[in-house]
Structure 1
Amino acid sequence: MSTSEKIDGLPTAEGIVSRRSPHSIQKTLELFKQSIPGHSLTLFAHIDHSAEARRAGLEMRETHVLIFGSPKAGTPLMITSPLIALDLPLKLLIWQDEHDQVWVSSTNPTYLSARYAIPQNLIKNIAGADALIEQTIQH
């Protein structure tokens, strides 16, 4: 599937999973920022694309990227497959569509595992991201 295709109005891209959040943008961001340290992860950055657009005199719906991870989990992956550093630390896109629905999108760990030929014994290092996302949006 190309990035221009849509399923039920939702943009799609290979390897990307999007989940509906029952919360507002701010509440979803708050929940993730609170839950990341509780899973022994570090929040490295929060990029507010919509705020940067406003500073440039442009308008866009709320769009935020959280960059998070764990050097303890990520380093063995990068030693095994250096190119995975292009996708690490992990990223989470929290965005609002034209109907004000909030979405949480991320790269599927199974896709990353296949893309970078991650050995079975190291898949657990990225597989927990899906559980974190599910737990947080169901909070």
Structure 2
Amino acid sequence: MTTETSPDGVVTKTAPGSVAEVATRFRELLDAKGVTVFAVIDQAAAAQTAGLTLRDTVLVIFGNPAAGTPVMAAAPLAGLDLPLKVLIWDDAGVTRVSYYSPETIAYHHNLTPTTTAGLSAIHPLTDALTRA
């Protein structure tokens, strides 16, 4: 598994399979864990409706109110970053999984690690996805 973290706090991992396959596996993983999936947005399909072409790109918006509510109670503007989002995208034939780290969200909203601890589940969730 390849993992990179950019200077702006975006974690990117490599996942086996096509964007569609990885998005399906991620949805199944979230469902199995009882995590709420709020939306799955096929951004490439949306681009096609405007007559444009975009590499395969799917945004999955998900969360757990038990983890996100304390964060938004402590910092209402954290709602701009929550629920959590994972972007699954094609990088020249390699499927990538990218998201803002919980540490970055905590930093942006001046939150304590204790307040954002529940968000850290995104790391093992995406680790499991990239090993699949």
- 1:45 equivalent in alignment to 2:21: no
- 1:136 equivalent in alignment to 2:129: yes
Q: Structure 1 residue runs of 4+, over 6 Å off?
A: none
User: Any gaps of 5 or more consecutive residues in structure 2?
Assistant: none
Alignment of 1:106-125 (within 5 A): 106-125=99-118
Deviations along 1:113-134, whole A, 9 cap, x unmatched? 1221222322221011111000
C-alpha contact 2:47 2:53 (8 A) present in aligned 1: yes
Of 120, 125, 129, 1:127 maps to 120
Give TM-score, length-normalised by structure 1.
0.86
C-alpha contact 2:67 2:116 (8 A) present in aligned 1: no
Give TM-score, length-normalised by structure 2.
0.90
Question: How many residues are treated as equivalent by the alignment?
Answer: 128
Match of 1:91 in 2: 85
* Amino acid in structure 2 at the alignment position of 1:85: G
Distance (Å, rounded) in 2 between the aligned partners of 1:82 and 1:27: 35
Of 23, 30, 33, 1:36 maps to 30
Distance (Å, rounded) in 2 between the aligned partners of 1:73 and 1:125: 5
Deviation at 1:73, TM superposition (A): 1.3
Deviations along 1:46-89, whole A, 9 cap, x unmatched? 11110011111111110110000011211111001111100000
User: Any gaps of 5 or more consecutive residues in structure 1?
Assistant: 1-9
Match of 1:24 in 2: 18
Distance (Å, rounded) in 1 between the aligned partners of 2:81 and 2:106: 11
Distance (Å, rounded) in 2 between the aligned partners of 1:31 and 1:95: 14
Q: What is the RMSD computed on CA atoms of the aligned residues?
A: 1.5
Alignment of 1:6-25 (within 5 A): 14-25=8-19
